[in-house]
Structure 1
Amino acid sequence: MDRERLKRAAERLRKPCAEFLRDLCRIPATSNQEGPVVARIKKEMTKVGFDEIRVDKYGNILGRIGKGPRVIACDSHIDTVGVGDPAEWKWDPFRGKYENGVIWARGSSDQRGGMAAMVYAGKLIKDLKLAADCTIWMVGSICEEDSDGIAWLYILKEKVISPEIVIVTEPTNLKIYRGHRGRMEIKVRIPGRSCHGSAPERGDNPITKAAPFLLEIERLNKRLRPHPFLGKGTVCATQIREDGPSQCAVPGAVTVHLDRRLAPGETKNSALREVREALKRAGISKAKVWVPIYREPSWRNTVYPMEQYYPGWCLDADHSLVRISKETYRGVFGRKPIVDKWIFSTNATTITGICGVPAIGFGAGNEDNAHSVKEHMPVDHLVKAMQFYAAFPTVYSQAGGLDKADRRYRA
C-alpha cells in the first residue's frame, strides 16, 4: 500500500467531505424520518461515482463499489436523536458551525460523520483502484436510535446483502473497537386498585407498591458482576407511567420501564429472572414482566417487528478481523492502534450478536459527546477515517479474508 499516495488523495477530499457532512447535519431526521437524508446521500453517492445505489424496502440506502467475490460492508446509521431544549445550544443545532477545523452540529459525530467518511472512502477506492477482489457496500442504516440494529435485521434476514464482515463506523476516536455490552428494555406492570384520591384507603396504590421494587432494582444494579473487558452490566428505572383516570384518583396500575445493559454471560432470560426476583423481594406477587416489541413504521411505511433485546458481543483479541484491522491501521498511519470497546451499544448488537456476522468498530469522532449539546466532529478525523475504510479491502484481500474458525461469531 502506498501510504503517502492515499494520504494525499484523502487530503484533496477534505473540503467536499466536510461540506457533505454539514449538508447532512442540516437535515433533521430522528428515527423513521430519514427519507430526506437518504435522498441527500444518494445524490452524493451518484456524484462521486458509486457503481450501484439501492434503497431497500425498509428504507436503508446501500451504495456499492467493486464487484469481487469478497463482500465487505461499512455501516453508519443516519438517524439522530432530537435536540432536547434548544435553549441549551449555543448555536443552531442543525445549521451548526465550522470553527478551527471542527464541525459542531447535531449528528456530526453520532453518526452522520461516519456516513460522510464512508462515501468519500468510496471515491478513494474508485480513484485509486483499491477494491481488490472485494465488493464494498456503504450502508446508511435507519432507525438505530429507536431500535439498535433493526435495519440490519432487515438487511440480513431479507438477504438484501450478505457481507462477510461489517465495519461499524460509530465514533471510536479513531481507535479499533472489538465489542460492547448488550442492552434490553424491560416493562414491569404493577397492578393496584383505582379509587378517588379523597379516600385512598378504598384503593390499592400501585405507586406506593412500586417504591420498594425500585429500591430492589438499585440493589440489583450494585450486585451485577463486571466483565474484565466490557465492564459491568447495569439496570435502572428510566420511566414510570401511571394508568389512572385523573390526578385526583389513585391509579389502577403503574408501568415501570427498565434500561438493562448486559455484560457477557447475562442473557434475556437471566435478566428477566432477576427482575421477577426483585418483585418477589419487594412483596409484589401480581406483576407482569415483558420485553416490548418495536413495531413503528419506517419512513417507507414498512413495519418490521423486533423484540427490544440487543445482545452484546466481543471478538477475541486474536480474532482474525481484529488482526486485519490492526494491520490496516499500521499500514495507513504507521503506528500501533489502540484496541478498546464502546460504552454504548451499536447496530453490531444485531449484526454480530444476533446474526453472527463479525463486526469491528472504527469511526471518526468521540462517543463521549454523542447526544450532547457539544456534539462535534474534527475534520481531521473524517480524513483519517476515509483512509482506513479505503485501505481495508486491500489488506482484507491480502489476508485471504477471515480465518475459517472466525467466519461466524459465537458468544
Structure 2
Amino acid sequence: GRIGNGKKIIAFDAHMDVVDIGHLGNWHFDPLAGEIKDGFVCGRGTVDQKGGAAAFVTAGRILKELQLHNDLTIYFVGSVIEEDCDGLCWKYIVEEEGIKPDVVVVTEPTNLGIYRGQRGRMEIHVHFYGVSSHGSAPERGVNAIYMASRTALEIEKLNERLAFDPFLGRGSVTISEIISTSPSLCAVADYARIHLDRRLTWGETKESAIKEIEALIEGLNAKVEMLNYEETSFTGLRYGMEKYYPTWKLEEEHPMIQLAAETFEKTFEKKPRIDKWTFSTNGVTINGYYGIPVIGFGPGNEVLAHAPNEKTPISDLVAATAFYAALAIEFAKK
C-alpha cells in the first residue's frame, strides 16, 4: 500500500510468509489460533514477522487520519518468499517496479532495539564424483562418500578460522545436508553432495567464500556450485536470483541510524539499544545489493523466530506503531 505523493520516499517492510509449526507437541498453545493471553498475541508468525506489519499498518492509519504524511511517499510492503529467498521480493520491487525508497524500515523482530546490520549468507553445493564397484570389492572403486567425508572434516576446521568483524562477529560455515548415490546398497557410492550454509561477515564475499571451498577439494574429482533460486508464482510469473545474500551494515553515525535513535529518544524518553540481527532479513537485498539505507526496528524477541511458543507482547506492537509514525514525521523534516 501507499499513502502520500511527496518527494521523500520511506518504506516499511514486513514479510508475510512464515515457517511451518514444527512438532506440535512442543507448543503450549495452538500455534494457529492467534490467541491473546496475558498481554501477548500467541502463534506462528506473531514474531517472525506479522507483528511488524500490524504495527506499520496502524501507524499508516494514524499518519493518514492526522494528515501528517503530506510531504512524503510512504510504502507499506507486505513482502513474500523471504523465508525461501531473502530479498527476492525487493529485487522485483526495485528492478521491475522501479521503486527505490530513500530509506527502508525492516520490521523484523528487534525487541524494540534499533538494528543496523547483519551477516550475509550464501548456499553452496559441493559435488563429489567417484567410481562404483561391487561392495564386496571396494578397492576396485572410488568412494565418493569418503571424499565428501574428508572434505566435511576440513570444512569443520575452516569454520574455526573464518574472518571476524567487531560488530557482526565471525563468519561461519556448516554442512546442513549430505546425500549420495550408488547403483545398489551393495555397491561403492559413485556420487555424493554436501550442502553448505555459509554466513558471511564484513569483508567476506561470494568469490572469497567459493575460493576457500575450492582449496579444500583441490586434487579431488569434485566441483563447487553456487546455487540459484527460481520458482513460479500462482500468477504464472517465474522469478529468481542467485542464492547469495550480501553482508550489510550501516555505521552507528549514519544519518538514518542517528535519525532513528533521536526519534526513539523523543518517543520513549530513553536511549535505544543499537545492535544487529543474528539471522538474515530482506536487508541483504535492500542494502546489500541496492545500497538503500535500512533501519531495523520491530516488535517481538528474535529468539522466538522459527521456535515453538512464538508470541509477541501487545505492548511491543503499541510501541512499534508509535515509533513508525514518529519516524515518518521526523524523516519528513530532514
TM range (shorter): over 0.9
Please report how far the alpha carbon of residue 211 of structure 1 lies from its aligned counterpart in structure 2 after TM superposition.
1.4
In structure 2, what is the equivalent of residue 269 of structure 1?
207
Please report how far the alpha carbon of residue 76 of structure 1 lies from its aligned counterpart in structure 2 after TM superposition.
0.3
1:115 equivalenced with 2:50 (yes/no): no
In structure 2, what is the equivalent of residue 207 of structure 1?
145
Amino acid at match of 1:300: T
2:21 is paired with a residue whose SS is coil
In structure 2, what is the equivalent of residue 311 of structure 1?
246
CA distance in 2, matches of 1:249, 1:276: 28
In structure 1, what is the equivalent of residue 222 of structure 2?
287
1:158 equivalenced with 2:83 (yes/no): no
CA distance in 2, matches of 1:370, 1:352: 22
CA distance in 2, matches of 1:387, 1:195: 68
1:12-411 correspondence runs (5 A): 63-280=1-218, 284-399=219-334
2:17 is paired with a residue whose SS is coil
2:238 is paired with a residue whose SS is coil
- Higher-strand-fraction structure: 2
Please report how far the alpha carbon of residue 321 of structure 1 lies from its aligned counterpart in structure 2 after TM superposition.
0.5
Please report how far the alpha carbon of residue 301 of structure 1 lies from its aligned counterpart in structure 2 after TM superposition.
3.0
Please report how far the alpha carbon of residue 285 of structure 1 lies from its aligned counterpart in structure 2 after TM superposition.
2.0
CA distance in 1, matches of 2:77, 2:270: 29
**TM-score, normalising length: structure 1:** 0.79
CA distance change for structure 1 residues 160 and 93 in 2, over 3 Å: closer, same or farther?
farther
Amino acid at match of 2:19: V
1:189 is paired with a residue whose SS is strand
* Gap runs ≥5 in structure 1: 1-62, 400-411
Matched-pair contact (CA < 8 Å) for 1:132–1:394? no
Matched-pair contact (CA < 8 Å) for 1:329–1:335? yes
Which structure ranks higher in relative contact order (CA pairs < 8 Å, sequence separation ≥ 6)?
A: 2
CA distance change for structure 1 residues 99 and 274 in 2, over 3 Å: closer, same or farther?
same
Residue deviations 1:143-195 (CA, integer Å, cap 9, x gap):
00001000001111113422111000000000000111100001100111223
**TM-score, normalising length: structure 2:** 0.96
1:109 is paired with a residue whose SS is helix
CA distance in 2, matches of 1:243, 1:146: 26
Please report how far the alpha carbon of residue 245 of structure 1 lies from its aligned counterpart in structure 2 after TM superposition.
4.1
Matched-pair contact (CA < 8 Å) for 2:130–2:221? no
CA distance in 2, matches of 1:247, 1:104: 47
2:220 is paired with a residue whose SS is coil
CA distance change for structure 1 residues 353 and 92 in 2, over 3 Å: closer, same or farther?
same
Residue deviations 1:236-290 (CA, integer Å, cap 9, x gap):
101011133443433321110000000111000000000111223xxx5221101
1:209 is paired with a residue whose SS is helix
Residue deviations 1:6-36 (CA, integer Å, cap 9, x gap):
xxxxxxxxxxxxxxxxxxxxxxxxxxxxxxx
CA distance in 1, matches of 2:34, 2:25: 14
Matched-pair contact (CA < 8 Å) for 1:221–1:234? yes
Please report how far the alpha carbon of residue 64 of structure 1 lies from its aligned counterpart in structure 2 after TM superposition.
0.7
- Higher-helix-fraction structure: 1
Matched-pair contact (CA < 8 Å) for 1:264–1:313? yes
Matched-pair contact (CA < 8 Å) for 2:228–2:243? yes
Please report how far the alpha carbon of residue 83 of structure 1 lies from its aligned counterpart in structure 2 after TM superposition.
1.5
2:123 is paired with a residue whose SS is strand
CA distance change for structure 1 residues 164 and 242 in 2, over 3 Å: closer, same or farther?
same
Matched-pair contact (CA < 8 Å) for 1:327–1:395? no
Residue deviations 1:321-375 (CA, integer Å, cap 9, x gap):
0111112111211211111111111000000001111111000011111000121
CA distance in 2, matches of 1:182, 1:285: 29
2:14 is paired with a residue whose SS is strand
Matched-pair contact (CA < 8 Å) for 1:132–1:393? no
CA distance in 1, matches of 2:46, 2:170: 29
Please report how far the alpha carbon of residue 82 of structure 1 lies from its aligned counterpart in structure 2 after TM superposition.
1.1
Amino acid at match of 1:207: I
CA distance change for structure 1 residues 145 and 263 in 2, over 3 Å: closer, same or farther?
same
Please report how far the alpha carbon of residue 131 of structure 1 lies from its aligned counterpart in structure 2 after TM superposition.
1.1
CA distance change for structure 1 residues 248 and 90 in 2, over 3 Å: closer, same or farther?
farther
Give the number of equivalent residue pairs: 334
CA distance change for structure 1 residues 249 and 299 in 2, over 3 Å: closer, same or farther?
farther
Amino acid at match of 1:387: A
Amino acid at match of 1:143: I
1:272 is paired with a residue whose SS is helix
CA distance in 2, matches of 1:184, 1:216: 19
